[in-house]
Amino acid sequence: MMKNEWIVIEIKVRGESIDLAIAILDDFGCSGTVVDERELDTFVVPDDTLDLAADYVLKAYFDAVSDPQRLVADLRAAFAEIPLFKNRHVSISLGPSVRQEDWAENWKQNFSAFHVGQNLVIRPSWEEYVPQAGEVVIEIDPGMAFGTGTHETTQLCLEMIAELLDRPDPPLRMLDVGTGSGILALGAAALGCQQIVANDLDPVACAVARENINKNNCHEQIEVSELSLEELSGEYDLIVANILAEENIRLRHAFMDHLRPGGWLVLSGILKEKEQLVRDGFADLLLQFFPGRYQDEWVCLLLRR
């Protein structure tokens, strides 16, 4: 069951004390923290540089509890026991709660049906679309997981998948690493791939992916797995990893363990400025590089074993 509401507690703290404050919050079961209101991108590692002497508002997200004010009081007491905070006034207050429905409305305003390549159409559940001859339609609701298909990296991956599946020898088994909403797996299934494992370590993402897979009647083609790549078994004709550039490099040997000879590897979530970093990271492996695909500041790389 996915969380429906989060409590937000706002803490004003010096930059030099943020790591310590986060450690205290973790002890109280904090689900996540945000420093101020920084615009973040799923595929860009945030700049961790903080002005140590400046004050920041640290927003801490907790599962909904019956007595939020008690949680605030307990946090104040915990901070007061730490020597670094004893002689400083630390402002701790209860912020507005965040509901999944409120979050969902934000992305609904910017998500409408669109085409990928010649035949694939992706639409949200609340928008009607009449398919033209030869078109296949995916219905997607990302919920609390990343992936409506509107991000450049997702579109690049879908285009690459479509081209590979249109080959005379299309890949039969695909592994989608970091599946999020399941959109890449669904796109591949709609375009004819018969056996797909949609893999993600985040149980919320897996729950969302399963909902979307069932909604599109693709449960026979797509299996959702929360196992790590090291625990996962089997070899695949196609592995798609739409994740951070650094994560692609870190997982390169795990990819090789699951990529059959002749298999394709699609790597994305990579900024153009990090393309060479990723290329260098895979240079010592028995892989052939094919021309990449570019959109705005993003790149999608295609390799074959």
pLDDT-based confidence at 110, cuts 50/70/90? low
Whether the pLDDT of residue 234 is over 90: the answer is yes
* Lowest-confidence segment of 91-95, 164-168, 202-206 by average pLDDT: 202-206
Predicted pLDDT at 214: 94
What is the pTM for the complete model shown?
Answer: 0.68
Whether the pLDDT of residue 37 is over 90: the answer is no
For tokens 């895979």, name the residue: 282
R_g of the chain computed on alpha carbons:
22
Mean pLDDT of 236-247: 94
Whether the pLDDT of residue 248 is over 90: the answer is yes
Which has more confidence, 264 or 57?
A: 264
Q: Show the tokens assigned to 158.
A: 């879908």
Whether the pLDDT of residue 60 is over 60: the answer is yes
Sequence-distant (6+) residues with CB within 8 A of 252 are: 281, 282, 285
Predicted pLDDT at 242: 93
| Residues 141 and 183: beta-carbon distance below 8 Å | no
Predicted pLDDT at 147: 54
Element (H, E) at 77: helix 68-80
Q: How does pLDDT run across 131-163, given as a tens digit for each residue?
A: 888 888 988 875 544 555 557 888 899 999 999
Closest by CA position to 22, among listed 14, 7, 32:
32
Q: How does pLDDT run across 168-226, given as a tens digit for each residue?
A: 999 999 999 999 889 999 999 999 999 999 999 888 889 889 999 999 999 999 999 99
Which has more confidence, 51 or 8?
A: 8
Mean pLDDT of 273-291: 95
Whether the pLDDT of residue 284 is over 70: the answer is yes
pLDDT-based confidence at 30, cuts 50/70/90? confident
Mean pLDDT of 276-303: 95
Domains of the chain (ranges plus CATH)? 5-103 (3.30.70.120), 146-304 (3.40.50.150)
Whether the pLDDT of residue 258 is over 90: the answer is yes
Closest by CA position to 303, among listed 262, 243, 245:
262
Which has more confidence, 175 or 59?
A: 175
Predicted pLDDT at 40: 45
Q: State whether residue 57 is helix, strand or coil.
A: strand
How far is it, in rounded angstroms, from Cα 123 to Cα 215?
A: 12
Mean pLDDT of 89-104: 72
Give Cα 153 to chain centroid, integer Å: 11
For tokens 């399941």, name the residue: 182
Which has more confidence, 281 or 39?
A: 281
